[in-house]
Amino acid sequence: MAVDVIGVLHRTDLFRSVPAEVLADLVASSRLRALRRGQIVCTTGDPGDSLIVVISGQLKIVVRSADGIELTLTFIGPPGTLGEVSIADGGPRSADVETVTDSQLLFVPRQAVRAVCARVPPAAEALSVSIAATLRRLTEATSDLVFLDLPRRVAKMLVSQPRSNAGVIEHQLTQTEYARQLGSTRQSVNLALRGFERRGWIEMTDGSLSVRQPEALARFAGL
């Protein structure tokens, strides 16, 4: 079944206010790519010449040290976008991007995005808001790494995850993936999770994690 690319663009914060006919022109100048799970989308230092829109699937944004230690900054699914900073300043990519699942991505040329922002003022404002949100998220993450111990960082992450009505975290991550996002090790994350489970705050069964007492986790994290 064909993907409604314009419909996905209309769901993004950046292009929500852009008329459909303008989006049609934007799509015509863009490139739609299908990637398999585990493929590299771009790496640190690559030219920041396009905005990437997640049409389907999921991406992870990571930075790596010289000796290969990985820190996951965030995960992005549809209708998420990335590359707004490069759209603004023309600089290179500042992180590596990989597919977590089979994905379809729309690569929108930088100049095409800037032309839309010049033509539709709310889009330009949305671009500024998106860049500010990225800065706030990274500032908060840095603060957490410095001021919160690992169990509290784990608790904060669990509370922030989308959950079903039964408390099951919708986008399940492995403990290794949690560790990479929290700047720790799988063993340390497992120890924290087991402590929460003994308190009855969470339940772990067959690769699924359910939050039973979100209020207790939030208090523990200082939220």
Query: Is domain 5-141 classified as CATH 2.60.120.10?
Result: yes
Query: Is domain 148-221 classified as CATH 1.10.10.10?
Result: yes
Strand 70-76 vs strand 40-42: parallel, antiparallel, or unpaired?
unpaired
pTM (predicted TM-score): 0.80
Domain locations along the chain: 5-141, 148-221
Checking if the pLDDT of 135 tops 60, the result is yes
For range 111-135, the mean pLDDT: 93
pLDDT tens per residue across span 164-199: 888 888 777 888 888 888 888 899 999 999 999 999
User: Using CA of residue 203, residue 209, residue 215, residue 217, what is the dihedral sign?
Assistant: positive
Predicted confidence at residue 1, as pLDDT, reads 41
Q: Do domains 5-141 and 148-221 have the same CATH topology?
A: no
Predicted confidence at residue 2, as pLDDT, reads 54
Helices in the chain by DSSP H: which ranges? 5-11, 20-28, 84-89, 110-119, 121-147, 150-160, 175-182, 186-198, 214-221
- The label of the residue with tokens 């603004």 reads 88
For range 126-133, the mean pLDDT: 93
State the distance between the two ends of the chain, measured CA to CA, in whole angstroms.
43
Q: What does the block give as tokens for 51?
A: 């905005």
How far is the C-alpha of 84 from the C-alpha of 19, rounded, in Å? 20
